[in-house]
Amino acid sequence: MNIVCLEELIKEPKIAYYSMEIGIQNDIPTYSGGLGVLAGDTIRAGADLKLPMVAVTLLTKKGYFIQELDERGRQTEHPVSWDPEKYMDLLPHKVSVRIEGRDVLVQAWQYNVESLTRGCVPIFFLDTDVDGNAPEDREITHYLYGGDLAYRLKQEIILGIGGVRMLHQLGFEIKKYHMNEGHSSLLTIELLNRFKRPIEDVWDEKLVWDVEKVKDLCVFTTHTPVDAGHDRFPYDLVTKILCEPIPLNVLKEIGGRDDLNMTRLGLNLSEFINGVAKKHGEVSRSMFPGYEISAITNGVHTFTWTCDSFKRLYDKYLPGWANEPELFVRIGRVPDEEIWDTHMEAKKALLDYVRRTTGVEMNPDILTIGFARRATAYKRADLIFSDLDRLESIGPGKLQIIYAGKAHPKDELGKKLIEKLFSIKDRLKGKITMVYLKNYDMDVALKMVSGVDIWLNTPLRPREASGTSGMKAAHNGVMNFSVLDGWWIEGHIEGFTGWSIGPSPTETTLTDNLDTRDADDLYNKLETIIIPMYYSARHTWVRMMQNAIGKNAYYFNCHRMMRRYVTDAYIR
């Protein structure tokens, strides 16, 4: 059935979307977090909108990892094993790429994302576990963000160079190549080779490389507002592993003098470049002066990130909402009690899950704060605990807190942070109930963003490029209580869609971040605004829930985002 679809699919020129990770469904563990979930949401919205798209990623047969936490919060990682055959079809096509002087065969698994609108976006999962490949090459596509720099470069060769060859081999005509972050930037090198001018046609040897032609075909989205977050490879490693696909002097000109910087490469060879929120666009422009960088603010896939009870509510009052999230503008039609009851249903489902997985009993009538994201220092998961005495004077009987998040296996500080939260949990016992759910994934995420009362986010400014979990919360009538960074700068209307923490976003240098100032604001608002409103002004509270849906979910969804990509990037 898929093969037939492939023939159907190659009829029309396509936008090819490349991402190192794609979160397409919970039990396909080829994603680690925000970037992958966004990629999945992008593709789902593309299918809903019947866009002519295909996507390419790596199979990562051993996935990211399963998180185990002991009673003290120490994390251990277990490889995931999953069976691609259960979900996808292995295609007979093979391409080969050269790595360390060997020809490495690459095969592809096809997974079709099909929408109820009958749109279809196929994803090709590249896999080097092919008979005939050397044992070490068979593992190139096994681990997501595992291994050393050499391993990562090999993966990026498979994704970028192998990924272009595979679509070509399958018979696709591609009108735009969209690089979701720099991991796939090597595709530009393959395109340069593909569109090389014959040497006898040019008067200067450099003109063999038709940079303008490749630029015309490429779109680059950057997601990282921190310099260290961009992939860089030393040239001796590059020449050892990749040899010299184009002359080194040309490569250095487009990929960076000192090392091969995958972001530079993407920026230099893309006609359209964007950040993922307005502020992030600004930050990126100052990080990379001289490039024209736009901003397309992220969204989330509306249907995917709405819990069952809200799906039923929207079906009743806003039919058509899933493929037309603009209909949230009419959320005012829904009676207050129904919004509240729908929320309580989601909250009880989450608290059930908490009881089943941790044994902890939480009270559905207590204001519940949710916090879940990668456990890493800049996200400051412990900000709310900066002054425990103060929290203990505000919270008992009025607050409970649910956490989740994995730390990257190599992020020791992140792991320590989880342990710290566990010890605080013990200290607060009997006063403020707190749980840490293990193995945060898309399923746990949906339960959390829909089942808590407020969604907390306290990153160091301006490190949060966009953030998306808060948008998921808004789709379920859950208000954000967050530092003004990323998307929240655009979504926040104080006391209306949610609440801010700390100073306004005009100040963006890291030195402006004062933990104490942010914590102080957090405590003040909890104590004087949020807790009193929750317990004594339920009507106002539900009005705010409506605004979260009618103003935040209305805008911060992937349908809006994809229309922007089409008009600004794909068909310009």
Ligand X SMILES: *Cc1c(COP(=O)(O)O)cnc(C)c1O
Q: Which amino acid is at 532?
A: P
Among residues 352, 351, 349, 341, the alpha carbon closest in space to that of 313 is found at 341
Q: Is 96 helix (H, G, I), strand (E, B) or coil?
A: strand
Q: Which amino acid is at 518?
A: D
- For tokens 């006609």, name the residue: 271
Give Cα separations from 429 to 20, 26, 92, 423 (angstroms): 41, 32, 58, 10
> Is 407 one of the binding residues for ligand X (CB under 6 A)?
no
Q: Which of 445, 526, 548, 553 binds ligand X (CB under 6 A)?
A: 445
> Is 33 one of the binding residues for ligand X (CB under 6 A)?
yes
> Is 559 one of the binding residues for ligand X (CB under 6 A)?
no
Neighbouring C-beta atoms of residue 26, cutoff 10 Å: 13
Q: Chain centroid to CA 486: how far?
A: 13
> Is 468 one of the binding residues for ligand X (CB under 6 A)?
yes
- Stretch in the footprint of ligand X (CB under 6 A) among 153-161, 199-207, 466-474, 510-518: 466-474
- Stretch in the footprint of ligand X (CB under 6 A) among 89-97, 239-247, 464-472, 533-541: 464-472
Rounded CA gap, 409 and 263, in Å?
24
Neighbouring C-beta atoms of residue 288, cutoff 10 Å: 15
With respect to ligand X, which residue has the nearer C-beta, 95 or 372? 372
Rounded CA gap, 218 and 261, in Å?
17
Nearest approach, Cβ of 374 to ligand X (angstroms)? 6
Enumerate residues 100-159 that contact ligand X by CB under 6 A: none
Nearest approach, Cβ of 237 to ligand X (angstroms)? 30
- Stretch in the footprint of ligand X (CB under 6 A) among 222-230, 322-330, 435-443, 535-543: 435-443
With respect to ligand X, which residue has the nearer C-beta, 139 or 441? 441
With respect to ligand X, which residue has the nearer C-beta, 467 or 491? 467
What's the burial of 194, exposed, middle or buried (CB within 10 Å: 0-12/13-18/19+)? middle
Between strands 89-99 and 102-114, the pairing is antiparallel
Q: Chain centroid to CA 430: how far?
A: 36
Nearest approach, Cβ of 38 to ligand X (angstroms)? 8
Range list of β-strands (E), 40-194: 53-58, 66-69, 75-78, 89-99, 102-114, 120-127, 174-180
- Contact flags string 37-76 toward ligand X, x per CB under 6 A: x---------------------------------------
Nearest approach, Cβ of 373 to ligand X (angstroms)? 4
What's the burial of 454, exposed, middle or buried (CB within 10 Å: 0-12/13-18/19+)? buried
Q: Which of 467, 477, 505, 550 binds ligand X (CB under 6 A)?
A: 467
- Contact flags string 337-376 toward ligand X, x per CB under 6 A: ------------------------------------x---
Nearest approach, Cβ of 431 to ligand X (angstroms)? 28
Rounded CA gap, 479 and 477, in Å?
6
With respect to ligand X, which residue has the nearer C-beta, 56 or 483? 483
Q: Which of 6, 18, 19, 34 binds ligand X (CB under 6 A)?
A: 34
Enumerate residues 191-250 that contact ligand X by CB under 6 A: none
Rounded CA gap, 463 and 284, in Å?
11
Q: Which of 143, 177, 321, 440 binds ligand X (CB under 6 A)?
A: 440
> Is 485 one of the binding residues for ligand X (CB under 6 A)?
no
Nearest approach, Cβ of 469 to ligand X (angstroms)? 3
Nearest approach, Cβ of 321 to ligand X (angstroms)? 20
Rounded CA gap, 144 and 30, in Å?
7
Instruction: Write the DSSP symbol of residue 408.
Output: P
With respect to ligand X, which residue has the nearer C-beta, 422 or 440? 440
> Is 442 one of the binding residues for ligand X (CB under 6 A)?
yes
Long-range contacts of 507-516 (CB under 8 A, 24+ apart): 507/461, 508/279, 508/283, 508/461, 508/462, 510/460, 510/461, 510/463, 512/461, 513/460, 513/461, 515/380, 515/383, 515/386, 516/386
Nearest approach, Cβ of 182 to ligand X (angstroms)? 18
Nearest approach, Cβ of 123 to ligand X (angstroms)? 18
With respect to ligand X, which residue has the nearer C-beta, 137 or 441? 441
- Evaluate whether 146 touches 61 at the Cβ level (below 8 Å): no
Nearest approach, Cβ of 42 to ligand X (angstroms)? 13
Among residues 157, 178, 251, the alpha carbon closest in space to that of 211 is found at 251
Instruction: Write the DSSP symbol of residue 527.
Output: I
Cis amide linkage into residue 462, ω under 30° from 0:
yes
Nearest approach, Cβ of 379 to ligand X (angstroms)? 7
With respect to ligand X, which residue has the nearer C-beta, 317 or 378? 378
- Evaluate whether 94 touches 106 at the Cβ level (below 8 Å): yes
Q: Which of 110, 469, 480, 497 binds ligand X (CB under 6 A)?
A: 469
Nearest approach, Cβ of 131 to ligand X (angstroms)? 34
Q: With contacts defined by CB under 6 A, how many residues of the chain interact with ligand X?
A: 12
Nearest approach, Cβ of 98 to ligand X (angstroms)? 35
With respect to ligand X, which residue has the nearer C-beta, 33 or 505? 33
Q: Which of 137, 441, 485, 518 binds ligand X (CB under 6 A)?
A: 441
- Contact flags string 373-402 toward ligand X, x per CB under 6 A: x-----------------------------
Q: What are the backbone dihedrals phi and psi of residue 549, each rounded to the nearest 5 degrees, phi first?
A: -75, -50
C-alpha triplet 167, 130, 157: angle, nearest 5°: 50
Nearest approach, Cβ of 338 to ligand X (angstroms)? 27
With respect to ligand X, which residue has the nearer C-beta, 33 or 84? 33
With respect to ligand X, which residue has the nearer C-beta, 133 or 298? 298
With respect to ligand X, which residue has the nearer C-beta, 270 or 457? 457
- For tokens 């949990």, name the residue: 425
**Can you give the binding site for ligand X, defined by CB under 6 A?**
33-34, 37, 373, 440-442, 445, 467-469, 472
